[in-house]
Structure 1
C-alpha cells in the first residue's frame, strides 16, 4: 500500500514538473498591443494581452505547439514551440499593420490568389477600415473608398446607387460571396442591412469584368465577402446612436451543432424616426427608416475536406420622406406629398465542391425582391427575382492555370407601370474560359473569354487580356484590357423615371451597351530604415462606350429622354492610393482620382450629369497607447458636377461647388473585449442647399396644381397638375406664382442633406 501511495505522488509530481508556462509580449514596432488575441493550438487555451501587451499561459504539458497572435487590422503571426521541461518559455510577437497587399483575393479571377500575384488589380477593404467612420450600412461606408461614390438619386426618398470611376450605379455589379444577388431594382437595398459582424472584407475591381461575371460588370464590381465561422467571434455586438435620433444595432453569434456543422448568425436593426427640416422647405432632410436584416451562414465539414456552405438573408425596410405633416393615412393620395417604400427581400446562396478528384465547384444564389412604393400619388409595385447557378472547373496543367465555367441566370421582372405590358422573363446561359499562363516568376498573362446568350438580345461575346510584370518584390506593373456589356431595364435602375414631374420618353427599342476598356496599374512598396511602410498604387484607365443609354435631361426640361446614344461616350482618368504606416502608431490612407466622363453626339461633346472631375479620400489614424485611445480623422472631397436644371430660368447653380464631408472619431479600448467610440460626422456642417435658393423645385406645390403650361402654338394655358389638362410637349409658363417656370422636381441632388451630428457607440466581442 505504501508503494502504491508513493507511486501516486511520484506520478503527480512528474506531471506537475512536466508542465510549463509560456509568456511573452505582443507589440507593433515599439508600441504594446493591448487586447490582442493569443491562441495555443492543440489545447483549449486562449487569452488576450493586458494593457502593456503581455500575456501568459500556465500549466502547459510537454509537447509541440503552434502559438498564434492576432489583432484586428494587423497580420496574424504564428510561431512553433517545443515544451520539454518546467521552465518558463518566452515567445514575443511583433505584428505588422495589415496593408491588404498580401491578402488572398478571389474576385479578379474567380479563384483564391495572393493580391500581389493577381494579374487583375483588386482593392481589399477590411472591417477595421470601415470602423474608422461607423455607418449603418455598406452603401454609406463606401464613401471613403477612393474612386467610389455613393450617389443619392432623390432628395425625398434618398434612394441611391454606387458610382465607380464616374460611371452610374447600374454599371456596377454587387456580389455577396461571389454571387450576383444584388442587381437593378435592389442595389441600394442589397447594400443596406448587411450585418457588420459578418463582414470579412470587401473586394473591389474597377473596370469591366464581364468576361467572368457577365452583364452589369461594366464599370466594376463590389464583392462583399462574409466571414467563415472559424474566424468569427462567439458573440459580437456593435451599437451606436446619433443626436439626430438614428439608432443602429448589429449582433453576431457563432455556434457549433455537432462535430461537423457550424452556424453564423448576424442581425442588423436600424431606426430613424425623427423628422428634421433644417433647410426649411417643409420636406424631411433625411428619409425616415425602420429596417431589419437577418443573415445566417451554415458551414458543413465533409470527410473529403471539400467546401459546403449555405447562407440566407431576410431584409425588410419601411422608409418614407416628404412633407413634414405626411403620415401613412396620406399614402398614395394627392393631399400631402410623401414617398413611401415597403421593401421585402429573400436571399439564398451557397457553394458545393463536387466529390471528385478534380477541383470543381458549384455556386448558386436566388433572390426575391418585393417592392411596394408610392411617389406622391404614383404607385410603383414591382417584383424582381434572380436565380443563378454556376459550375467551375479549376485545372492546372504545367504553367497553365485554367478555369472553365458554365452559368445560367434567370431574371424575372414585373411592375404596374405602363411601360411593362407583361412580365419580363429572361434566361441567360453562359460559357467562359480563362487561362493564366506563368512564363516565370516575374511574367504572367491571363486570357479569358465569355459567351452569353440572351433570349431577348441574342449572342454576346466578351474577351479579356491581362499582363502582369513583377519587376521585383516591391514593384509590380499590370495591364488589363477587355470588353463589357450591359442590358438595361429603366424602371429598375432610374429612380428619376418614377418620381418628380418629368415624363419618361423612350424613343426606341434599347440595345445592349458595349464597352471597350484598357487600364494600366502600377504598385510600389517602400520600406524605410525606421520600420515605416509606404504603398503607392496608381491606375490609369480609358473606357469607350457604344450604344450608351444615358438619361437626357437637357433636350426638354419636362422630360427624361432615353435612347441609344448616336455617337459614343468615354470615361478616362487616373487614380492613386497611398498607404503610409509608421511605427509610432500613425497611419495615413490617402486617395485621389481625376477623370473625365463625357459623351459626344452630333459633334457636340458634353460632360455627363452628376459626375465629378476630381475626388479625394483620406483616413488618418493615430494610436495613443498610454491613454488606450485611437483617433481617426476621415473625409472626402468632390469637385464640381453638372446638375439637372429645369430650364433657362432655373435659379439653382448649374454646377455644384467643390464640397467635402469630414468626420472624427475617438475609440477607447482599455477594457477587455469592449470598445467605446464617439465622434462627430460632417464636421464642416456642409449641405447642398448652401449657395442655392432651394434644392427641391416648387416644394410648396408638389402636385403642380398651380403650374401653367402652354403648347407653344397658342396663348392658351392649362393647369399642369389637374387631370385632363395635360398638354403634350407643353412648355411651363412663368407666372407670378412660378417666376422661374418650374415644376416639382427632387432630382437636383448630388450630396446628403444631413448636417453636423455627434455619435456614441459601444462594441463588445467575445472570442
Structure 2
C-alpha cells in the first residue's frame, strides 16, 4: 500500500471514528414546574444550539466528545451556565429549572424621591431606559435618542439652525428639567444644547418623571424631569468605544475610559460629532441639516472613603460650532446682509458632585455649577449671551419612628444672565443691567408606610425668588400594590412653577423678520398637576412576560407665557396668558417579551393641550393630539444577530402661519400631516466585546413640505411684494427635521 492510500485510509477511519463518538444531548426545561418553550440551549465552544419545543424539551444531535460550557438563556430569566462532559455511546440528559430575572423589576431609581428606592416601591412613577433601549436606534445625541420614548418628543424649533428641545406630554421644552446624576445642569440658555454632547458610553440609565417635580427640584421642573445617571467608575468597563457614520456624511465617536489614581477611581468620556456636508434636497436654497462640529469631554471621579461614604465629582466641557442657512454662505458673510446664515458658537462647562458628610446621620451635600457662553448671528442679528448658575443643596435622610421616612433639605441657586438684547437693559432702556437672581429654598418630604402595601408621600417646598418673591410647591403621592407586585396603583397631585427667559428658550425670538414685543412684565408660571398611574405585570404559563403601564394626566396652568404669532404677523408678542391653559390626556406603555426571541416595546399618548382666554379655547400650536412609538426586536442566538425595527407616528399639529383675520395669503398648510419616522438596524456580535451594527434611518423618507421656510429666496425682506406686504421671510414654521432617508454603519467594542 503506497503512502497516499495509507494517508487516505487513516483520514477515512478518523472521520468514521469521530462520527461514532458524537452523541445526543437532550433534556427538559421548566419554569414553576411547567414546560418552558422557546428557551435557547447553546454550546458555545462548538457553536451548536437549539430551542425548546412547546413541551419544554430540547435535543442537540451529533455532539462531539469533550468538555463544554452549556448555556441556557431566555429573556426575562436568569441565564444558566453548566459545564458538561460528553463521553461516547451515552445519551446525555440535562434538565434545568428557570428562575425569573427580577433585576428589571427591582431596579433602583432616585428621581422620584431624591433617594435610592426600588422602582416598584417608589410612590412616584419613574420610567427607566437603559442603554440597550437607545442602542436599538443609535443617534449622535441624547436629544435625538428621545424620539422613541412614548410621550416625549424632540421638537425642532428652528428650520435653519436645527436647535430643539424636549416636549413631555405636549409641554414645551423649557418645562422639562434636565439633570446629570440628580444635579441640575441644563439652564434656560442651554435648554436647546444641554442634551447634546453627553458621551453616551458613560450613561448607565435615563430616568424620566412626567409631571411637576418642583417640590424637590424647584423652578423649571414643571412638565417633568430627565435625569441622566452616569456609570460608577468602579463598575464601568476599562474601555468602551463606539463610532458610526451615515450616508449623509455624519460622523459620531464615543469613547469611555476607566482609570485609577490611588484612592480615586476615574471615568473619562469623549464625544465627537462632525457634519460638514451641505445638502439641499428640498431645493429651497437652505441647508436641510445644519453643519456641526462638536466635542464634549466628561470626567467623573469617585474618591474611596472610610465607611463607604460617598464623594463623587463630575465635570464636562462642550464646544460646538453650528451653522445653518443659505448653501452659498461663507464665514466672511457672518453678520452681513448679502447671504443669510445662522452661525452659533457655544462654549459650555459644568461641574457637579455629592459629598456625604462624615457623621452618624445621613447628611449629604450636593452641588453643581455651569457656565454657558454663546456667540451667534441670526442673519444680521447678533445674540451674545453669558449665563452662570451655581447650585448647592444639603439633605438629611432620616426616619421618624417605624413608619415615617423623612427627607429634609435646604437649597440655594444663583443665576447670572447677560446678553446684548433689550432683555438686560435697565428701566430707561439705556444701560446694560445683567439679571441676577437669588433663589434660596427649603423642603421636607415624608414617606409614610400606611400599611404593608400602602404608601403616602407628602412634600412641601418654599422658595424665595429675589425678584418675584415667595413660592410654595406642595405635592401628594399615594401608592398601592398587590402582594406579588402584579398590580400597582399610584395617584399624584403636585404643583410646579417656572420663571421664564424668552430669549434663552425660544429661537423664534431671534431668527426671522418678526419684531419681539413684551406685553407687560412676565410673571412666574404656575401649574397644578394630577395623574393616575396603573401598572400590570404578567408572566404567562408559556413564560411570556407582559408589562402594561397606563397613565391619565391633567395639568392646569396660570400665568402661562404664550408666544402670539397671529395678532400682528410682523411681531411675536410674549405675555402671560389672561386666562388659563390645560394639558390633559392618557398614555399607555406596553412591553411584551416572548421566549422565541421577539420583544416589543410600544406606547401611545392621546392628549389635548389648549389655552383659554376671554372665553375662547384654542389648541396649542406645534402640539400633536396623538403620538405613538414602537420598538420591535428579534434575536437569533445561533448567529448572535439582533434585528431592531423602531419608529414613531404623530398626528397633525397646528402650525404658525402669517395669517390674520383679514389676511389669509400664507401659502403653507395650516397643519402638519400625519407623519412617521421609521428605522431598521442589524447588529452582529463577535464574542462579548465587539459588535458591528448598521441599517437605514427614516425608511419612509419623510420630510416637511419644501416651502416650510417662507420666502427663503428673500431672507432680509429686501424685495417685499407691495401688493402683499405682510408676507415676509419666516422660518418659525417647523415641526420635524428636513433630514431624509440615509444608511448608517458603525462598530462598538469594550474591554473589561
- Per the normalisation by structure 2, the TM-score is 0.87
How many angstroms apart in 1 are the aligned matches of 2:609 and 2:176?
A: 16
How many angstroms apart in 2 are the aligned matches of 1:496 and 1:106?
A: 35
User: What number of residue pairs does the alignment pair up?
Assistant: 681
Q: Which residue of structure 2 aligns with residue 494 of structure 1?
A: 506
Q: Any runs of at least 4 consecutive aligned residues in structure 1 with deviations exceeding 2 A, and if so which? A: 26-35, 48-54, 69-81, 90-102
Quickly say closer, same or farther: Cα 1:264–1:166, change in 2 above 3 A. Answer: same
**Aligned partner (choices 157, 167, 172) of residue 168 of structure 1:** 172
Quickly say closer, same or farther: Cα 1:640–1:197, change in 2 above 3 A. Answer: same
- Answering whether residue 711 of structure 2 is matched by residue 698 of structure 1, we say yes
How many angstroms apart in 1 are the aligned matches of 2:447 and 2:403?
A: 8
How many angstroms apart in 2 are the aligned matches of 1:301 and 1:342?
A: 38
How many angstroms apart in 1 are the aligned matches of 2:393 and 2:111?
A: 15
Q: Which residue of structure 2 aligns with residue 765 of structure 1?
A: 750
**Aligned partner (choices 205, 218, 227) of residue 209 of structure 2:** 205
Q: Which residue of structure 1 aligns with residue 495 of structure 2?
A: 483
- Answering whether residue 442 of structure 2 is matched by residue 431 of structure 1, we say yes
Q: Which residue of structure 2 aligns with residue 746 of structure 1?
A: 731
Q: Offset at 1:52?
A: 6.0
Q: Which residue of structure 2 aligns with residue 599 of structure 1?
A: 611
- Answering whether residue 666 of structure 2 is matched by residue 650 of structure 1, we say yes
Q: Deviations over 1:244-279 (max 9, x none)?
A: 000000001001222x21100000000000000000
Q: Which residue of structure 2 aligns with residue 549 of structure 1?
A: 561
SS of match in other structure, 1:201: strand
Quickly say closer, same or farther: Cα 1:674–1:426, change in 2 above 3 A. Answer: same
Quickly say closer, same or farther: Cα 1:500–1:53, change in 2 above 3 A. Answer: farther
Q: Is the 2:493–2:531 contact (alpha carbons within 8 Å) kept by the matching residues of 1?
A: yes
Q: Which residue of structure 1 aligns with residue 322 of structure 2?
A: 319
What runs of 5+ residues in structure 1 fail to find an aligned partner?
1-25, 36-47, 55-68, 82-89, 709-732
Q: Deviations over 1:170-215 (max 9, x none)?
A: 0110001101111211022110011111000000000000111011
SS of match in other structure, 2:308: coil
Q: Is the 1:322–1:339 contact (alpha carbons within 8 Å) kept by the matching residues of 2?
A: yes
Q: Is the 2:73–2:79 contact (alpha carbons within 8 Å) kept by the matching residues of 1?
A: no
Matches within 5 A, 1:208-607: 208-258=212-262, 260-397=263-400, 398-421=402-425, 422-472=433-483, 473-607=485-619
Q: Offset at 1:341?
A: 0.4
- Answering whether residue 700 of structure 2 is matched by residue 684 of structure 1, we say yes
SS of match in other structure, 1:669: strand
Quickly say closer, same or farther: Cα 1:53–1:108, change in 2 above 3 A. Answer: farther
Q: Offset at 1:420?
A: 1.4
Q: Offset at 1:32?
A: 4.5
Quickly say closer, same or farther: Cα 1:91–1:499, change in 2 above 3 A. Answer: farther
SS of match in other structure, 2:702: coil
**Aligned partner (choices 100, 120, 123) of residue 119 of structure 1:** 123
How many angstroms apart in 1 are the aligned matches of 2:534 and 2:231?
A: 30
Q: Deviations over 1:216-269 (max 9, x none)?
A: 1000010011000122110011000000000000001001222x2110000000
Quickly say closer, same or farther: Cα 1:650–1:223, change in 2 above 3 A. Answer: same
SS of match in other structure, 1:237: strand
Q: Deviations over 1:700-757 (max 9, x none)?
A: 001001125xxxxxxxxxxxxxxxxxxxxxxxx535xx7xx41111111000100000
SS of match in other structure, 1:439: strand
How many angstroms apart in 1 are the aligned matches of 2:716 and 2:149?
A: 39
Quickly say closer, same or farther: Cα 1:615–1:460, change in 2 above 3 A. Answer: same
Please, what is the CA RMSD of the aligned residues?
Answer: 2.7
How many angstroms apart in 1 are the aligned matches of 2:559 and 2:531?
A: 21
Matches within 5 A, 1:73-92: none
Q: Which residue of structure 2 aligns with residue 664 of structure 1?
A: 680
How many angstroms apart in 2 are the aligned matches of 1:510 and 1:75?
A: 54
How many angstroms apart in 1 are the aligned matches of 2:268 and 2:98?
A: 33
SS of match in other structure, 1:391: strand
Quickly say closer, same or farther: Cα 1:97–1:677, change in 2 above 3 A. Answer: farther
Q: Offset at 1:370?
A: 0.5
Quickly say closer, same or farther: Cα 1:700–1:70, change in 2 above 3 A. Answer: farther
Q: Offset at 1:128?
A: 0.1
How many angstroms apart in 2 are the aligned matches of 1:176 and 1:192?
A: 13
How many angstroms apart in 2 are the aligned matches of 1:189 and 1:51?
A: 47
SS of match in other structure, 1:116: helix
Q: Is the 1:73–1:98 contact (alpha carbons within 8 Å) kept by the matching residues of 2?
A: no
How many angstroms apart in 1 are the aligned matches of 2:186 and 2:80?
A: 38
Q: Is the 2:189–2:504 contact (alpha carbons within 8 Å) kept by the matching residues of 1?
A: yes
Q: Is the 1:235–1:253 contact (alpha carbons within 8 Å) kept by the matching residues of 2?
A: yes
How many angstroms apart in 2 are the aligned matches of 1:71 and 1:135?
A: 29
Quickly say closer, same or farther: Cα 1:51–1:78, change in 2 above 3 A. Answer: closer
Q: Is the 2:666–2:727 contact (alpha carbons within 8 Å) kept by the matching residues of 1?
A: yes
Q: Offset at 1:671?
A: 3.8
Q: Offset at 1:364?
A: 0.4
How many angstroms apart in 2 are the aligned matches of 1:180 and 1:489?
A: 17
Quickly say closer, same or farther: Cα 1:507–1:75, change in 2 above 3 A. Answer: farther
Q: Is the 1:77–1:93 contact (alpha carbons within 8 Å) kept by the matching residues of 2?
A: no
Q: Offset at 1:530?
A: 0.7
Q: Offset at 1:79?
A: 11
Quickly say closer, same or farther: Cα 1:400–1:377, change in 2 above 3 A. Answer: same
Q: Which residue of structure 2 aligns with residue 734 of structure 1?
A: 723
Q: Is the 1:510–1:564 contact (alpha carbons within 8 Å) kept by the matching residues of 2?
A: yes
- Answering whether residue 146 of structure 2 is matched by residue 142 of structure 1, we say yes
SS of match in other structure, 2:306: coil
Q: Offset at 1:628?
A: 1.8
Q: Is the 1:535–1:580 contact (alpha carbons within 8 Å) kept by the matching residues of 2?
A: yes
Quickly say closer, same or farther: Cα 1:271–1:201, change in 2 above 3 A. Answer: same
What runs of 5+ residues in structure 2 fail to find an aligned partner?
1-28, 31-35, 51-70, 84-93, 426-432
SS of match in other structure, 1:143: helix
Q: Offset at 1:33?
A: 8.7
How many angstroms apart in 2 are the aligned matches of 1:597 and 1:254?
A: 46
SS of match in other structure, 1:304: helix
Q: Deviations over 1:494-538 (max 9, x none)?
A: 110011111111010111111011100000011100111000000
Q: Which residue of structure 2 aligns with residue 631 of structure 1?
A: 643
Q: Offset at 1:51?
A: 5.2
Q: Offset at 1:100?
A: 3.9
Quickly say closer, same or farther: Cα 1:606–1:761, change in 2 above 3 A. Answer: same
How many angstroms apart in 2 are the aligned matches of 1:309 and 1:146?
A: 32
Q: Is the 1:209–1:220 contact (alpha carbons within 8 Å) kept by the matching residues of 2?
A: yes
Q: Which residue of structure 1 aligns with residue 13 of structure 2?
A: none
How many angstroms apart in 2 are the aligned matches of 1:128 and 1:137?
A: 15
